[in-house]
Amino acid sequence: MNDGIINWNLDPVIYWITDSFPLKYYGLLFMTGILIAFQVEKRIYTKENIPVERLDKLFIYVIIGILLGARLGHCFFYDPAYYFQNPIEILLPIKKIGVSYKFIGFQGLASHGGTIGVLIALGIYCKKYKTNFWWLMDRIAIVAPIVGAFIRFGNFMNSEIYGKPTNGNWGIVFQRDDLIPRHPTQLYEAFSYLLIFGILMYTYKKTSSKKRNGLIFGICLVLIFLARFIIEFFKENQVGFENGMTINMGQILSIPFIIIGLILIFMKKSPVYNNV
C-alpha cells in the first residue's frame, strides 16, 4: 500500500452497554465538544463578571436547540418523503426493520438545521430572560466552532460524510464502505472550525464590547459556512437527489447564512447600528 494512503476501519461502537444500547465515539465526541465549549464560555462569563448561573440555563436551551434543529433539519432537508411516512423515527433513535423497531441512535443530524435550532432557542432565551440578543450571539459564536469540530471528528470515527476519491497516491480508505482513497473532508472541516475558533477569540479580545455587538456573530457565520461551501466540492453527496445538482444541498443551505453574516459585518459601519 502506498505510504500516502491511510486505511481506516475503526468500529464506531466503543462498548455495548446492553445488547441494544451502544456507546459510540460520535456521541462521546459530541458531548466532549459541548463540554469544552461550556468551559470556554464559562471563562468568558467570569471575565466579564456575569453570574455563571445564567450560563447553566443557557446551556439547556442550546442543547435542545442543537439536537432538535439538527435532527429536524436532516429529516426535512435531506429525506422528507421517508420521514413523513415514518414520523416516529424523527425524534426517537429507532428504525423500523421488518415489523419491529431497533435502537440505532440518531443517524442523521444536519448542521444547518442545528444552527437554525440554536438561533430559535436563543431567541426564546433572550425574550424570557431579557438578554440582548446580539450580545449573546457574539459570545455563543465564539464557542460554536468547537462543537462543530468535535461533531466532524465524530463523523470521521463513524466513517461517514467523507470526501470524493483523491485520484492520486494519497487519501484515506474508509474500509467500512469501500477500498477507494478519499478526501478526509470530516477532518478538513474539523480543523477549519478550530482555526475559526481561534480567529473569533482573537477578534473578541481585540475589539471593544460596543464594536463587537453582532460583529463576531457575523464573522462566525461567514467563515463557518464559507468553509462548509468550499469543502462540499470535495465531499460525496449525502443523498441521491444531489447528484444532478450543480451545487449540493449543503452549499445551497450555506448561502443564506453567508449573506446574513456579511450583512451583519457591513452593518457595523452604520452609527445607528453601533448604538443599538
Percent of the chain exceeding pLDDT 70 equals 89
pLDDT value at position 276? 46
- Residue 113 clears pLDDT 80, i.e. is over it: yes
pTM for this entry: 0.84
**Ramachandran quadrant class, 189 (left: phi over 0; alpha: psi -120 to 50; beta: rest):** alpha
Could you tell me which of 42, 70, 73 has the C-alpha nearest to residue 56?
42
pLDDT tens digits for range 214-230: 899 999 999 999 999 99
* Spatial separation of the C-alpha atoms in residues 36 and 223, rounded to whole Å: 21
Q: Which helix (H) or strand (E) holds 6?
A: strand 5-8
* CA distances, 218 to each of 27, 66, 117, 162, 222 (Å): 29, 19, 17, 28, 6
Residue 216, C-beta contacts closer than 8 angstroms, at least 6 positions apart: 137, 138, 139, 141, 142, 200, 203, 204, 207
pLDDT at 244 over 90: no
Average pLDDT, the chain: 86
Nearest one of 214, 224, 215 to 257, comparing CA atoms:
224
Q: pLDDT of 39-81, one tens digit each? A: 999 999 999 998 888 888 898 998 899 888 888 887 887 778 8
Q: Residue 85 above 60 pLDDT?
A: yes
- Of residues 72 and 146, more confidence is placed in 146
